[in-house]
Structure 1
Amino acid sequence: MEYLISEEKIAKIRTYRSQRVWDLMKEHDLDFLYLWDYGNTRYAFDIMPRFHPESDGALMGYLISKEGVVSVLLSDSFVEHHPYQPGGLYDPAKPGAVWTPDSVVRSSGSESYMRSVPTRWARLTAEAINANGPGAKRIGFDGILDLGAFQALQKLTPGVEYVGMGFDMAKTRMIKSAEELELMEASCEVHNRVLWKGMSEVEPGWVDFQLASRMAQLFALEPSVEQHCLNITYSYEPGGAMGMIWSPIGRVYKEGEVISSDCGIMTFGSATTDYGRTRILGETTTKIRDAYNWNILNCHELLTKIKPGMKISAMVEMFIDAHEKRGMPLVMLGHGLGTNMDEMPQMNPADKQEYDAVLEENMVLCIEPTCVVFDDTHGPQLLWFEDQWVVEKDGLRRMAPLSYFDIDDKDLATMK
């Protein structure tokens, strides 16, 4: 385990994040806030609650009182084999945090077990509420673990108004502190070194599984990486989601084709990365080469025009228009990033989102313009790449800039 920035700065990140969560509770006049969502628990407490979002998590959630007292609900197996210790992984009072831990660790069962005994989680949550603030009137939830369990909790807490807080938590996480940005950029540097090495090794004849396996191996050797949690090798497929297959399928890479690697990691201190590169293997047709170059150069040209104060939808429309004129419609554009690899703001046209975020300083964006070129020799090829950008006073700045295969950096509008 290794932090990429000093532990003093890690503590400042915890202070910044936990204080923003506490301020949100006060803003919404909450007596308690229950956090279970993967990104939110990482944000508020700097913990890894489950090995993967789809796995059966050991952590059932944190219940925060308006005084900042935090009750922890864990699974039986965690309590039995990993006794709670102050200063440990699941301790809400890590250096820098504003939280005070409850003296009781409540064993509520794992997620799958809870569904067979939903009243147990409800009873223990109600017990924590009564112990740290009897008479509560408003309790925020960032998500419902199980509808039956939640309904059981409602019966045990009559008179309480439950408030959905997932959307507000997502908005809170969009603005980063200086230390968060430093950690994210340092994480990108690790990511990009590994990404470039792995992509450079691929040769015609490789199978997409080999590329994914190589990336996993390289990231596993990095001491700062808490988890390697995204490993995609895009390929065009008319029947796939958005016309593409995301995961390895046994595709054999051939000379002249376009290959992709979209990876994400989480580093210690709760920062994520989402960088990716496309590469043409060997010689290809002029049509593919021109389309590949245009997608990258056009993106950088458009990004010189993006400024704080613009709405996300305005940026999206710029890309849609450019791709329509080129005859290569935009498939996807990007998203925000923080303690999750894919979070707000989401990059969609105005008519496809309820919250059209305004770009603010210290937001971090993953921009990944994706399109398809149809070639007579090599067939349809998916064109894609991804970079992380931070919104600054005068525009966007690329975090830990990584070169592109077969593109000279001096030709990029954002580098001039």
Structure 2
Amino acid sequence: MNMPNGFTKAELPPPDIDWTRLNDYRMGRIREAMAERDVELAIITNPLTMRYAVNYHEYMQFQARIPLMTLMIFADGPVVFSGAFIKDLDHVTEYIPMFGLAPFLAGFDQVENTRKFVDFVRGRLAGKGRCRVALDRLDASAVQGLMQAGFEVVDAPGFLEKARSIKSAEEITLCRYAIDVAQLGIAKMHEAFQPGISENELWSILSQVNIAHGGLWSEARMLASGERTNPWLQEAGERRVQKGELLGFDTDMVGPFGYMSDISRTWYCGEGKAPDEFRDLYKRALDEIEHNKANVRPGVSFKELVDQSFRHPEEFVAHRYPCIMHGVGMCDEYPYVPYPQDWDDIGYDGIIEENMMICVEGYVGSDRGGSGVKIEHQFLVTADGLEQLDSYPYDENLLR
């Protein structure tokens, strides 16, 4: 098939997946987490959790802003889906109309729709007493209504994130495929990388390759050039890349089947070896990753990872990345391991477990200005340590 100039066809065939086994595993993880916390009902509106629970993936970005749909998982078995557009999902036992728990659907007075929702929950949990109901994300009116009805309302995101953190064999296969798609996109970006191309133009290539393979979106548009690489977290814009400068990017790509590829590279826009200043930054970023990844193994605590983490000279501390490493699956996920300077404010402890998926970060940018270097690898935690899942090569012109 001939494609329009500049467009990529789906070059990578999808993996062969046992979807029943995958869906059973994911629902099983949720039910185990509910049982551990004595939760009688989990009410889910987060589209990523909906996909994890029952593989529902329609209108995900719309659902993230306006909760049209509500998924209710009852501890005693039933799974009720309110407002679903597709009605052939594994594990869903009942489909009902949407409740309209948002101003877009209910207007500015949500009292009546909230009452219908609370009455439904009360009816389904009749005879359970003051049981525990876990909420994903709901407006205050729905939360207050459930509390006034006598339910003990608790947060669901924490235990749902923990449930998602241990990947099945099928999930690992899908993550590998997402990374393959991302690396194909990166290769095509690299082919187009030259002085004069805009950041937006270059970034669009990754998005097009992802969508051509059935992928979804990127969590951010993290691509920056020149001095916009420092500090990091400046999204792609209209700026055009100039010869003799650096360009860095972070895929943050929610790919085919809803699994994420989160990898970063930095390139030099020029011929021959990059200036010493750039190569020094590049080496520091690589050293940070090599040091921190060596500490990751099943059983190590997050606090130990922080205490043993790589230390940069003072000039690179102020512009440090938000975290040393983090979990990944359908998006950035639990756990989140911050730098030592941030532990007291946002740190929490936990244990690295086998079959977690972890991204290890490396970013270096001086508080005196100039450019920065961003590198990130995605790993699977194995019984022996880490298996690196991405393989796109480093820029030879930046290696010492």
TM-score (norm 1): 0.81
Give the direction of change, closer, same or farther, for the CA distance of 1:403–1:114 in structure 2 (3 Å limit): farther
* Bigger share in strand: 1
- Structure 1's 245 and 180: CA in aligned 2 closer, same or farther, altered over 3 A? closer
Cα deviation 1:70-117 (Å, max 9, x = unaligned): 22222xxx7xxx5x53x1xxx3xx2xxxx3422533442656334624
Letter in 2 for 1:347: V
1:272 maps to 260
Query: Which residue pairs with 1:180 in the alignment?
Result: 171
Q: Measure, in 2, the Cα distance between the counterparts of 1:209 and 1:267.
A: 19
For 2:248 and 2:70, locate their aligned partners in 1 and report how far apart those are by CA, in whole Å: 37
Note the C-alpha offset of 1:67. 1.8
Q: Distance in 1 between matches of 2:157 and 2:193?
A: 41
Q: Judging changes above 3 Å, is the alpha-carbon distance between structure 1 residues 63 and 311 closer, same or farther for their aligned structure 2 residues?
A: same
Q: Distance in 1 between matches of 2:376 and 2:31?
A: 34
Q: 2:57 matched to 1:64?
A: no
Structure 1 window deviating more from structure 2 (255-264 vs 351-360): it is 351-360
Aligned partner of 2:313 in structure 1 is 324
**Would the aligned equivalents of 2:132 and 2:151 in 1 still touch at CA under 8 Å?**
yes
The separation in 1 between residues aligned to 2:208 and 2:13, in whole angstroms, is: 20
1:291–1:226 distance in 2 versus 1, CA, 3 Å: closer
1:315 to 290, 305, 310: 305
The answer to whether the 8 A contact 2:182-2:206 is kept is: no
Cα-to-partner distance string for 1:304-354 (whole Å, 9 max, x where unaligned): 343222222333344442x238x5333333321112x21110021342335
Instruction: Please show how residues 241-280 of structure 1 align to structure 2 within 5 Å.
Output: 243-280=231-268
Give the deviation of 1:210 after TM superposition: 1.4
Q: Are 1:122 and 1:153, in contact at CA under 8 Å, matched by a contact in 2?
A: no
**Which residue is equivalent to 1:48?**
57
Paired residue for 1:213, among 204, 225, 232? 204
Superposed counterparts of 1:261-300, under 5 Å: 261-283=249-271, 284-300=274-290
Percentage of identical aligned residues: 22
* Residues 369-415 of structure 1: CA deviation (Å, up to 9, x unaligned): 1111589xxx6112101211111111111114221121799x9xxxx
| C-alpha RMSD of the superposition | 3.1
Q: Aligned partners of 1:237 and 1:404: how far apart in 2?
A: 20
Secondary structure class of the residue paired with 1:129: helix
| Structure 2 counterpart of 1:338 | 329
1:414 corresponds in structure 2 to: none
Opposite residue 180 of structure 1, the aligned amino acid is E
Match among 181, 184, 187 for residue 196 of structure 1: 187
1:35 corresponds to which residue? Answer: 44
Q: Which runs of 4+ in 1 moved over 4 A?
A: 235-238
Distance 1:180 1:237 in 2: 38
Inter-partner Cα distance in structure 1 for 2:209 and 2:121? 45
- Could you tell me which amino acid in structure 2 is paired with residue 169 of structure 1? L
CA pair 354-122 structure 1, distance change in 2 beyond 3 A:
farther
Q: Aligned to 1:149, which of 131, 137, 142?
A: 142
Aligned residue for 1:4, secondary structure, equals coil
Distance 1:249 1:40 in 2: 31
Q: Which moved more, 1:101-110 or 1:170-179?
A: 101-110
Contact 1:312 1:359 in 2 (8 A): yes
Give the 3-state SS of the residue equivalent to 1:385 in structure 2.
strand
The unaligned stretches of length 5 or more in structure 1 are 412-416
Give the structure-2-normalised TM-score.
0.84
Query: Do residues 6 (structure 1) and 6 (structure 2) align?
Result: no
Which letter maps to 2:16?
A: S
**1:259-283 deviation per Cα after TM superposition (whole angstroms, max 9, x unaligned):** 0122233344432221221111115
The aligned counterpart of 2:6 is none
Q: What runs of 5+ residues in structure 2 fail to find an aligned partner?
A: 1-9
Aligned to 1:39, what secondary structure does the other structure show?
Answer: helix
Cα distance in 1 for partners of 2:370, 2:200 equals: 20
Moved more, 169-178 or 289-298: 289-298
**Count of aligned positions:** 381
Picking from 2, 12, 16, the partner of 2:25 is 16
Counterpart Cα distance in 1 of 2:136 and 2:207:
31
> Aligned to 2:25, what secondary structure does the other structure show?
helix
Is 1:160 the counterpart of 2:151? The answer is: yes
Which position in structure 1 is the counterpart of 2:100? 108
Aligned equivalent of 2:294: 304
Q: Is the 8 A contact 2:199 2:225 kept in 1?
A: no
Q: Tell whether the 8 Å contact from 1:234 to 1:259 is kept in structure 2 after alignment.
A: yes
Q: Is 1:392–2:382 an aligned residue pair?
A: yes
